[in-house]
Structure 1
Amino acid sequence: MTNRPYVLLSCAASLDGYIDDNTSERLLLSNDADFDRVDEVRAQCDAILVGASTIRRDNPRLLVRSEARRASRLERGLTETPTKATITRNGDLSSDAQFFAAGETDKVVYATSSGFDKTQQAVGAVADVVDAGDPVNFELVLADLARRGIGRLMVEGGGSMHTEFLTTGLADELHLVVAPFFVGDSAAPRFVKDGAFPWNKDHRARLASATQIQDVILLRYALSNRFQD
Structure 2
Amino acid sequence: MTIHVNAATSVDGKLASRRREQLAISGPADFARVDRVRAANDAVMVGVGTVLADDPSLTLDDPELVATREERGAPPQPTRVVADSNARTPPDARVLDDAAPTVVLVAAGAPDERVAAIENTGATVLAAGDERVDLPMAFEGIAARGLVDVMVEGGGELIFSLFDAGLVDELTVYVGSTIVGGRTAPTLADGEGFVDEYPTLDLVDVERIDDGVLLRYDC
TM value normalised by structure 2: 0.93
Q: Does 1:146 align with 2:143?
A: yes
One-letter identity of the residue aligned with 2:117: A
1:140-182 deviations in whole A, cap 9, x for unaligned? Answer: 1110111011121000000111001111110000001111121
Contact 2:26 2:210 in 1 (8 A): no
Contact 2:28 2:210 in 1 (8 A): no
Q: How many residues align?
A: 216
- Unaligned residue ranges in structure 1 (runs of 5+): 224-229
Q: Residue 119 of structure 2 aligns with which residue?
A: 124
Counterparts of 2:34 and 2:52 in 1: how far apart (Å)? 21
1:88-121 deviations in whole A, cap 9, x for unaligned? Answer: 1221121211101151x32111111111524322
Runs of at least 4 residues off by over 6 Å: none
Q: Residue 134 of structure 2 aligns with which residue?
A: 137
Contact 2:55 2:94 in 1 (8 A): yes
- Between the aligned residues of both structures, percent identity stands at 33
| 1:111–1:209 Cα change, 3 Å | same
| 1:102–1:158 Cα change, 3 Å | farther
One-letter identity of the residue aligned with 2:193: G
| 1:189 shift after superposition | 1.3
Contact 1:111 1:119 in 2 (8 A): no
Larger CA deviation: 129-138 vs 43-52: 129-138
| 1:23 shift after superposition | 3.6
Contact 1:74 1:80 in 2 (8 A): yes
Q: What secondary structure sits across from 2:22 in the alignment?
A: coil
Match of 1:175 among 172, 180, 195: 172
Q: Does 1:27 align with 2:23?
A: yes
Q: What secondary structure sits across from 2:129 in the alignment?
A: coil
Q: Does 1:111 align with 2:106?
A: yes
| 1:63–1:179 Cα change, 3 Å | same
Q: Residue 57 of structure 1 aligns with which residue?
A: 53
Larger CA deviation: 16-25 vs 121-130: 16-25
Contact 1:100 1:127 in 2 (8 A): yes
Q: Root-mean-square deviation (CA), in Å?
A: 1.7
| 1:22 shift after superposition | 2.6
| 1:100–1:117 Cα change, 3 Å | same
Counterparts of 2:141 and 2:200 in 1: how far apart (Å)? 31
Counterparts of 1:198 and 1:180 in 2: how far apart (Å)? 32
Counterparts of 1:102 and 1:61 in 2: how far apart (Å)? 10
Q: Residue 43 of structure 1 aligns with which residue?
A: 39
| 1:190 shift after superposition | 1.3
